[in-house]
Amino acid sequence: MIDWEKTNNRLDKIDGRTIFFLTVCSCFITFLSTSMLNHALYTIWLLLILCFFGFLKQSLYFSSFYLLSLIGLIIETNHNISFPSPLLLSMIYKLILPAMSAYLLIKIPSGKLTASLRKIPIPNKFMLVLIVMLRFAPTIIYEFGEVKEAMKIRGFLKSFTNIFSHPLNTLEYAIVPMVFRSLTISDELAASAIVRGIESPYNKDSYYISIITYIDIILLLISTLLAVYCCFF
Amino acid sequence: MEKSMQNTKQNFTIRDIMTIAAMMVICFIIMMIIAAITLPFPIIYLYASAGIDGFLGAIFFLVAANRVNKHGLLFSWAAIYGLIQGIMGYAFLIPYFLIVASISELSMIGKNTYRNPIRSMIGWTLNCIGNFVGCAVPLWWAWNSYKDMAKSSGFTSQTLNMQLSMVTTPSFMLAGIIITAALTILGTLFGQRLLRKHFKKAGIVR
C-alpha cells in the first residue's frame, strides 16, 4: 500500500470520489445556474481549489480565459455585437468550470481513480469506459496535433480552397491515421490492464488507500453548499 | 466448458472496452468541435449539428462495431452518452437516453449484425435521431428555466424563438429528423468506404 501521508502532493491525499463529485457539481452549475454571478462564484471556489492543490499556473490560465470570455460576452450582449458569436463566448466561459474540475480528475493517478470510483455504484464496465475516456482525451488531443502537423508537412492543409474543394479527402487523411494511432494505444492499454489482472473475477484491491479524509469532508461540504446556493438562489 | 466459453465470447473483453472508449473519445471531441463551429449559425446548429455529428461519428462507430461485433455495443455507446449528459447537468435525460439505447440495440438483434453494413446503418441512424430529439427534451421539460438560462448565455431572442418553433412544430422536428437521418446515412456510407479501403486491408477490422 502507498502511504500518502508521507508524500507532499496534496492531490494524492484526496479521494477520487471527491473530485468526481466536484466535477458533477460544476457540470450541474454550468447548466442549471441562470446567474453569471453565481457561476463566477463557483468558478472562484474551483480556482481556489486548484491553487490549493498547487496548480497556480493553470488556475491563472483558466481565470484569464474565463474573464476574457465573460467580459466579451457582457460587452457583446449590451452593445448587440454579433462577432465573435456571443453563443461561442458563452460556451467557452461556461465550459471552463467543468474543465477545471476535469483537469483535477485527469491529474489523479489512474489506479487511484479506479480504486475510488469502484466504490461508486456504477456498473464496472461503464466505469472502465468512463475512466479510459477521461485518460484518453489528452492523448487524443495530442494525437490530433501530430496528425495536423503531418498533414501540414505533406501540403494537405495548404489553403482553405484546397480543404473545401476536397472535404472528404481531407477528412479521410485526418481520420484514418487518427483511428490507427488510437487503436494501437487502446490495444497497448488493454494489454497492460490484462497483465495487471483487470479481467480477474475476484475482488480487487488497490495499492492506493481510498478513504474520505477531513480534507475531503471540508471540500464536499463547502462544494455542496455553494452548489445548492448557485443553482437555486 | 463450451457454454462458459460461449458466454465469454458474448461479454465485452477489456480490449473491446478500450476500443469502445477510444472511439467514443474521438467522437466526443469531434462533437464538441462541431458544436463550437456551428454555434454562431443558429439554423445549422439546431437542425444539422446532430446530423454532422452522426456523419463524422459513423466512421468511429463502424470501426468499433466491426472490431467488437458484440451485442450491447450500441446500447453502451448511447447509454454512456446519456450518462455524460447526466453528469453535465441534464440528469433527467438519462432515462431518455437509456430508451434510445435500448431501441437502437433492439434494431441490431441477430447474428453478426454489427458487421452488416445495412444493420449498422439502421442502428446508428436510430441512435443519431434519438440524439437530435434529445436536444428538444430540455425545452419540453422546462421551457421557462431553459429560457432564463439561454438568455443569460447570450442567446438572442431570434435564436430562442427559432428553437421554440422547432420543438413545438411537428413539421420542423420532422425536417430536423430527416436532415439528421440523411447525414447519418451518408456518414455510414463514407465510413463503410473507409473500412474497405483502409481498415480491412490493414487487418484492423474484419
CA–CA separation, A31 and A90 (whole Å) = 12
Beta bridge partners of A2: A208
In chain A, which residues have their Cβ closer than 8 Å to the Cβ of B67? 183
| Ramachandran class of A59: left when φ > 0, alpha when ψ lies in -120 to 50, beta otherwise | alpha
Find the mean pLDDT for residues A186-211.
80
Residue in B closest to A75 by C-alpha: B154
CA–CA separation, A181 and A185 (whole Å) = 6
| Confidence at residue A213, expressed as pLDDT on a 0 to 100 scale | 87
Nearest to A193 among B14, B63, B83 (CB): B14
CA–CA separation, B113 and B171 (whole Å) = 33
* Cα–Cα separations (whole angstroms), residue A103 to A20, A41, B93, B106: 11, 19, 25, 37
In chain B, which residues have their Cβ closer than 8 Å to the Cβ of A129? 17, 20-21, 24, 76, 80
| Confidence at residue B149, expressed as pLDDT on a 0 to 100 scale | 67
In chain B, which residues have their Cβ closer than 8 Å to the Cβ of A133? 21, 24-25, 28, 80
Q: What are phi and psi of A208, to 5 degrees?
A: -90, 135
Task: Indicate yes or no: CB of A87 within 8 angstroms of CB of B159.
Answer: yes
Beta bridge partners of A208: A2
Highest mean pLDDT among A87-96, A106-115, B149-158, B168-177: B168-177
Find the mean pLDDT for residues A198-212.
77
| C-alpha R_g of chain A | 21
Grid coordinates of A48: 481556489
Residues 6+ apart with CB under 8 A from A33: A39, A42, A230, A231, B149
Report the gap between the CA of A137 and the closest CA in chain B (Å): 6
Q: Is residue A3 predicted with pLDDT exceeding 70?
A: no
Q: For residue B77, how many other CB atoms are within 10 A of its CB?
A: 26
In chain A, which residues have their Cβ closer than 8 Å to the Cβ of B145? 34
Contact B68, B18 (CB under 8 A): no
Q: What is the DSSP string of B133-149?
A: HHHHHHHHH-HHHHHHH
Contact A217, A122 (CB under 8 A): no
| Ramachandran class of B117: left when φ > 0, alpha when ψ lies in -120 to 50, beta otherwise | alpha
Task: Indicate yes or no: CB of A87 within 8 angstroms of CB of B87.
Answer: no
3-state secondary structure of B61: helix
Find the mean pLDDT for residues A57-76.
89
Residues 6+ apart with CB under 8 A from B15: A186, A187, A190, A194
3-state secondary structure of B116: coil
| Confidence at residue B188, expressed as pLDDT on a 0 to 100 scale | 96
- A to B CB pairs, distance under 8 Å: 141
Task: Indicate yes or no: CB of A31 within 8 angstroms of CB of B89.
Answer: yes
Which range is least confidently modeled, A153-157, B94-98, B117-121?
A153-157
Q: Is residue A2 predicted with pLDDT exceeding 60?
A: no
* Coarse DSSP helix, strand, coil percentages of chain A, rounded to the nearest 5 percent: 75, 0, 20
In chain B, which residues have their Cβ closer than 8 Å to the Cβ of A34? 145, 148-149, 152
Task: Indicate yes or no: CB of B14 within 8 angstroms of CB of A199.
Answer: yes
Each residue of A16-51: pLDDT tens digit?
889 989 988 988 888 777 788 888 999 999 999 999
Better-scored residue on pLDDT, B73 or B147? B73
Q: For residue A233, how many other CB atoms are within 10 A of its CB?
A: 8
Q: What are phi and psi of A2, to 5 degrees?
A: -90, 125
Each residue of B124-137: pLDDT tens digit?
999 999 999 987 77
Task: Indicate yes or no: CB of A27 within 8 angstroms of CB of B36.
Answer: no
Mean of pLDDT over chain B = 84
Q: Domain map of chain A by residue range? A: 1-118+207-233, 122-203
**Predicted confidence band of residue A7 (pLDDT cuts 50, 70, 90):** very low
A84 cis-preceded (ω within 30 degrees of 0): yes
Q: Is residue B104 predicted with pLDDT exceeding 90?
A: yes
Each residue of B146-158: pLDDT tens digit?
777 666 666 667 7
ipTM above 0.90, yes or no: no
Residue in B closest to A126 by C-alpha: B80
Mutate to test the interface with A, among B152, B158, B190, B194 (most CBs of A within 10 A): B152
Task: Indicate yes or no: CB of B154 within 8 angstroms of CB of A73.
Answer: yes
